[in-house]
Amino acid sequence: MRLPGLVRLLLTPRSLSRGLFARMALVTFLGVLAIAGVAGTAVTAEVNQVFDQQLVLGANLLVNLMRDELADIRKDTNSVMEVDDMPLLSAEDREAFDAYADWRMFRIWYHGKLRLKSDTGPDLKAPLPSENSTFHYVKDGGQTWRVYTLAAIGGNPVVQVGERMAVRKELVDNIALQLAAPFVGIAILLLIIIWISLRNGLRDLDGFSARLAEQQGSPPFIPVHAEDWPAELGQLTAVINGLFRRIEDGLLHERTFIEMAAHQLRTPLAALSLEAQLCARIGDPKELKTRLLALHAATARIARLADQLLVLARLGAAGQPDAGIASVREVVGQLLADAAPVIAERRIDVAVEGNDFGLGGSDTALRLALANLIENAMGHTPPGSELVVHIESDPDFRSGFIEIRDRGPGMTIEEKAKAFDRFWRAPTNTRNGSGLGLAIARDAADLLGGRIVLRDRDDGQSGLAARLVLPLLNI
């Protein structure tokens, strides 16, 4: 990738490539740190073990070498002797001791008194018997020494040898640096490979975007085939195809609604225009009043038709959220209370019977379905007769139903088959209906996951029983 492209990527507020690369770089960095930590710990432990073994070996050598020589030195002087003052050492031995003493030290004790020491190292107290064959740390002048104490058989002499910890740290740092250099190079090479792999891997996503850009601006859309793309894009492909279908369904629904509304409103509007023209020509006040009443009825019918068309459009466009209804009997009671003036005017006796139940779904959809079924039943129920609303649940079949029974003329088998068609009206219907009531009720029932069944009354009386079957809420 060219440098300007990389710069643009780094300056992009949100980038999938940059996010993935940052995560991989972080994982690589943490991996290098973990390896460096483990390697550093292992190197430190190994160096300490080797240097401690050297201290033990040096202490044993000094104990064996100084056992007899120290007795001769003690005969000549009672003072503390340094390496350069020892008459037993040759010039080569003194040079070796000087080189050794540059970063190590030793102390030789005899009967609790210091007899021989190097010219380096901290001042130490006479070792206790409990300190035999032990290591301990001593700080002096900002430096830390690791000291090993060893006593000969019989307790004398006692030798202490020590070493500056800075020497060990320097050695560990050098080894760690030599080990880290290849890992750093490998990490850099790995990040380059990761970046190239990411860019190559995301080319499929770029191709996927280009494939979507080829879609036409209006339906029908060409589905995206999941088998043409990596498996990781399978879910995205399904979502996009689903979106295409919803857009096509929505546009089809809109087009159908517009055509349906235009067709259905054309005749009432023509009748309304004709009534208005007739009113303009009539001079008799009584006849004019009759025509005006007919004009008002036509206007009310058009307004009602427009409202029902809008309700039908909302039902078909999208489902309502599943809020859940705790009591269908309560909803029925509220709908009957709203229709109380019409019920009183037509002197209809209403009976609500059966047991209550709850269901999942939209309260609005349930009210639309029941309101249209109740209104349809009241329109066909003769004045002075009875309308029954029966509520029943059947846990064995995981469902419940609300059945509205009227005392109207009923329907033939052919009429029941056409009853849910939009704008269809029964031949016996003398009301100013639009033929949309049962269609709206059916669409609302579909949103609730239920269905509407039209059947004859099973008690031998004339009339129709419209049953709304719905799934129960908690089973």
- Return the bridge partners of 351, or none: 388
CATH code for the structural domain at 231-314? 1.10.287
- Given a cut of 60, whether residue 260 has pLDDT beyond it is no
- Residue whose C-alpha is closest to residue 162's, from 177, 183, 140: 140
Give residue-wise pLDDT tens across range 142-161: 888 999 999 888 777 888 88
Give residue-wise pLDDT tens across range 37-58: 888 888 888 888 988 898 888 8
- Given a cut of 50, whether residue 106 has pLDDT beyond it is yes
Query: Where is average pLDDT lowest: 9-23, 153-167, 354-368, 454-468?
Result: 9-23
Classify domain 320-471 at the CATH superfamily level.
Histidine kinase-like ATPase, C-terminal domain (3.30.565.10)
**What CATH number does domain 30-174 carry, 3.30.450, 3.40.50, 3.10.560, 3.30.70?**
3.30.450
**pLDDT, greater one: 217 or 285:** 285
- Given a cut of 70, whether residue 314 has pLDDT beyond it is no
- Given a cut of 80, whether residue 94 has pLDDT beyond it is no
The ranges assigned to domains in the chain are 30-174, 231-314, 320-471
Stated as kind and residue range, the H or E segment containing 363 is: helix 363-380
Cα distance between residue 472 and residue 474, in whole Å = 6
Supply the pTM of this predicted model: 0.43
Q: How confident is the model at residue 431 (pLDDT cuts 50, 70, 90)?
A: low
Q: How confident is the model at residue 1 (pLDDT cuts 50, 70, 90)?
A: very low
Q: How confident is the model at residue 427 (pLDDT cuts 50, 70, 90)?
A: low
- Return the bridge partners of 295, or none: none
pLDDT value, residue 432:
54
| Average pLDDT, integer, range 51-76 | 71
**CA atoms 72, 74, 79, 80: torsion sign:** positive
| Mean pLDDT taken over the chain | 76
pLDDT value, residue 391:
92
Q: How confident is the model at residue 80 (pLDDT cuts 50, 70, 90)?
A: low
Give me the residue label for tokens 């690791």: 146
DSSP count for the chain of H helices, then E strands: 12, 11
| Average pLDDT, integer, range 203-224 | 71
Does this chain's domain 30-174 share its CATH topology with 231-314? Answer: no
Q: What number of other Cβ atoms are within 10 A of residue 377's Cβ?
A: 23
**CA atoms 375, 376, 381, 382: torsion sign:** positive
Distance from chain centroid for Cα 118: 70
